[in-house]
Amino acid sequence: MDMTKESCRKFVEVLASNAPAPGGGGAAALVGAIGTALGNMVGSLTVGKKKYAAVEAEIVALQKQCDALQTELLDQVEADDIGFVPLAKAYGIPKDDPNRDAILEEATVTACAVPMHVMELCCQAIDAIAVFAEKGSRLAVSDAGCGAACCKAALQAASLNVFINTKSLKNRETAQALNDKANAMLDKYCPLADQIFAQVRANF
């Protein structure tokens, strides 16, 4: 079931239950979409204002990019649920089945794919929010800071859903490659999100 089509209250209730999904990956995707939308709102409050006419074309283009990011992040809520299904089934395979390890390994790599993609999308969103914070309406700059904070949280949350899976991989080269990719995003974009937040906070 696509939980993004349910109410916010329903999503949170199911998240708090013992249902297997949504979990951390789906929650990260939703928070990332919310953060992206907050940045995008700054764009909406900038376009059409004479004061910002010089940057309007850039802001409009950025809004289109963020519209796509929001949609893609929301799509990852259900995708994370679907991506976890093979892993859940693999754990149910009898331990004496000679194919269990190979199936489990493949399913674990599959389970990493969506949270890794969520991380990539959050990085793109933070890049966009940096521009909204710098060039967007000063009346809405706090929303850019909120968006950066949300996307950073989503980025970090998604990374944990990568790391918990790579820890169990037998192929340590694959695990290391995935870990390196995730850590590179954390190392670059968490400080950038913090910088945006600090710059916004300095306005008050």
- Predicted local confidence at residue 140, as pLDDT: 96
**Amino acid at residue number 115:** P
Distance CA 70, CA 164 (A): 25
Distance CA 171, CA 131 (A): 40
- Predicted local confidence at residue 84, as pLDDT: 87
Region 23-201: CATH code:
1.20.120.680
Residue 45 corresponds to which tokens in the numbers above?
């409050």
Determine contact, residues 148/196, Cβ cutoff 8 Å: yes
Distance CA 23, CA 98 (A): 30
Is the overall model pTM greater than 0.85, yes or no? yes
Report domain extents, the chain: 23-201
Distance CA 198, CA 94 (A): 52
- Predicted local confidence at residue 45, as pLDDT: 97
Residue 149 corresponds to which tokens in the numbers above?
């904070």
Instruction: Tell me the per-residue pLDDT of 115-168, one tens digit each, with 9 for 90 and over.
Output: 999 999 999 999 999 999 999 999 999 999 999 999 999 999 999 999 999 999
Which residue numbers in the chain have pLDDT < 50? none
- Predicted local confidence at residue 20, as pLDDT: 82
| Averaged pLDDT of the chain | 96
